[in-house]
């Protein structure tokens, strides 16, 4: 986008955030090629209407020279004439020209000599022709296609240029572990053998990472909400981080941001998105700007993943056994078990979830496997990865290691599991480790 158009958007940002209706613009901006589908999805998931408007304007500034006049056109087409006039009065008349298709320039590839398998020994003795690589010119060639590519900030791809969270408080922060093992018979949920093994591992691990660890066992839905509410009311000002770990049965629920729900031992669930709300900036001001980590060892649904075939070099030995169980419960029809009357301090809202990371033991909609003798695949792997790598690696990279290792396991020689995270951290996170 031209600099003069960026300045117009910046001068009118207040009006745009206050009055713009992004929901009416998305289809038009997508059809006209201003935004990609991924960008539209990101805007729609930004939160409130004002948050979406702010994200839309911010993204618009990164698009090509045709983005501004096309944006004005979309405003008029959707009846937002006053905003269009405000922006038009600050901008010279722009004539839209159809995009000119460009013929991509393809490099000339010279084929390497082809030999039969019988010539392998001969190739090792005879010289093989080497074709020099064509190195790119030091002078960049401008391309019209680059107008629709987001500019990448200088140096942003380097890990050492990204800031790290402050993580040197003594102790680092609170860690709440809720471990639901024995379920009421009326709940029709099975007991979770092996969960105590997970709980013990995680308690020791986060104590070693300098957290104040508190374990709560066999909580009903209301008790889960009470403990989360109590945690949100603590003064975290002297700490740098907060961790919540949920070990229970789970289910899939409708959601706006974070999928899944966790069951109390009474068979009533709490959606994950409500669990995170207890510690967001609105409900827990002393954790504003600080990392809030949630680890969910529970099923995201009832589907079982049988995986797909891969090449032999992708396969590693699996650790699944005959004692593997799941934490799955069928999808619930309710999306909100957080009562407005009994927990007014934790009502459902959708602010921007900055500084939050939610790590799931399994992909939403699928079961999570747990060995009755050695604990769950996810916790066992995460404990080992933290032990071996926390001194040198950041959290997101370690969770990727967990994803890779767990994805290689098989339950009953057939079923697979894929952990994943919803990451809204703004900086790298390095845990404290014992020197």
Under the phi-then-psi rule, with left for phi > 0, alpha for psi from -120 to 50, and beta for the rest, what region is 343? beta
241 an active-site residue?
Answer: no
Residue 234 CA to residue 240 CA, distance in Å, equals: 13
> Catalytic site residue 199?
no
Tokens at 147, concatenated: 């107008």
Cα separation of 414 and 307, whole Å? 8
Phi, psi dihedrals of residue 25, rounded to the nearest 5°: -95, -25
Strand (E) or helix (H) holding 156: none
Q: Half-sphere exposure of 231 toward its Cβ, with a 13 Å CA cutoff?
A: 31
56 torsion bin: left (phi>0), alpha (psi -120 to 50), beta (else): alpha
The CA-CA-CA angle for residues 112, 117, 121, to 5°, reads 90
- The Cα–Cα gap between 58 and 71 comes to 13
Assign 271 to helix, strand or coil: strand
For the chain, helix (H) and strand (E) counts, in that order, are 13, 12
How wide is the angle at C-alpha 323 spanned by C-alphas 322 and 327, nearest 5°? 120
Give the pair of three-digit tokens for residue 363.
């992909």
Asked if residues 22 and 75 have their Cβ atoms less than 8 Å apart, the reply is: no
Q: What is the dihedral of CA 24, 29, 30, 33, to 10 degrees?
A: 170
Q: Positive or negative, the Cα torsion across 184, 188, 191, 192?
A: negative
Strand partners, 244: 176, 294
Strand order in the sheet with 375-376: 324-326, 369-371, 375-376
In the chain, the N- to C-terminal Cα span, in Å, equals 50
235 sits in which H/E element = none
- Quote the tokens at residue 28: 């038009």
Catalytic residue among 174, 249, 269, 283: 249
Residue 253 near residue 335 (C-beta atoms within 8 A): yes
Query: Residues with catalytic annotation?
Result: 249, 299
């Amino acid at each position: 986008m031209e600099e003069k158009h960026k300045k117009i958007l910046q001068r009118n940002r207040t009006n745009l955030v206050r009055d713009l209706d992004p929901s009416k613009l998305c289809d038009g901006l997508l059809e006209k090629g201003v935004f990609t589908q991924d960008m539209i999805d990101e805007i729609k998931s930004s939160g409130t209407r004002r948050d979406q408007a702010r994200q839309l304007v911010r993204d618009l500034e990164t698009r090509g020279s045709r983005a501004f006049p096309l944006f004005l056109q979309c405003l008029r087409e959707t009846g937002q004439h006053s905003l269009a006039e405000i922006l038009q009065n600050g901008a010279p008349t722009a004539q839209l020209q159809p995009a000119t298709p460009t013929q991509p320039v393809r490099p000339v590839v010279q084929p390497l000599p082809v030999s039969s398998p019988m010539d392998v020994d001969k190739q090792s003795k005879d010289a093989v022709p080497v074709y020099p690589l064509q190195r790119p010119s030091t002078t960049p060639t401008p391309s019209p296609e680059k107008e629709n590519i987001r500019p990448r900030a200088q140096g942003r791809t380097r890990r050492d240029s990204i800031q790290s969270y402050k993580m040197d408080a003594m102790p680092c922060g609170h860690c709440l572990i809720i471990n639901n093992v024995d379920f009421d018979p009326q709940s029709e949920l099975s007991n979770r053998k092996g969960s105590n093994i997970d709980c013990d591992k995680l308690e020791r691990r986060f104590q070693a990472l300098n957290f104040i660890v508190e374990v709560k066992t066999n909580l009903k839905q209301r008790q889960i909400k009470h403990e989360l509410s109590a945690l949100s009311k603590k003064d975290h000002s002297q700490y740098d981080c907060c961790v919540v770990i949920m070990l229970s049965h789970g289910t899939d629920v409708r959601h706006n941001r974070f999928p899944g729900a966790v069951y109390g031992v009474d068979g009533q669930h709490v959606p994950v998105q409500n669990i995170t709300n207890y510690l967001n900036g609105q409900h827990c001001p002393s954790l504003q700007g600080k990392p809030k980590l949630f680890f969910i060892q529970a099923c995201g649904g009832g589907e079982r993943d049988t995986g797909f075939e891969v090449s032999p070099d992708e396969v590693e030995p699996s650790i699944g056994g005959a004692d593997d169980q799941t934490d799955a419960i069928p999808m619930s029809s309710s999306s909100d078990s957080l009562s407005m009357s009994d927990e007014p301090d934790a009502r459902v809202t959708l602010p921007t979830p900055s500084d939050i990371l939610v790590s799931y033991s399994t992909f939403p909609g699928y079961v999570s496997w747990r060995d009755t003798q050695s604990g769950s695949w996810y916790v066992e792997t995460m404990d080992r990865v933290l032990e071996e790598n926390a001194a040198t690696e950041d959290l997101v990279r370690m969770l990727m290691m967990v994803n890779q290792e767990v994805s290689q396991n098989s339950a009953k020689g057939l079923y697979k599991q894929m952990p994943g995270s919803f990451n809204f951290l703004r900086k790298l996170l390095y845990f404290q480790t014992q020197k």
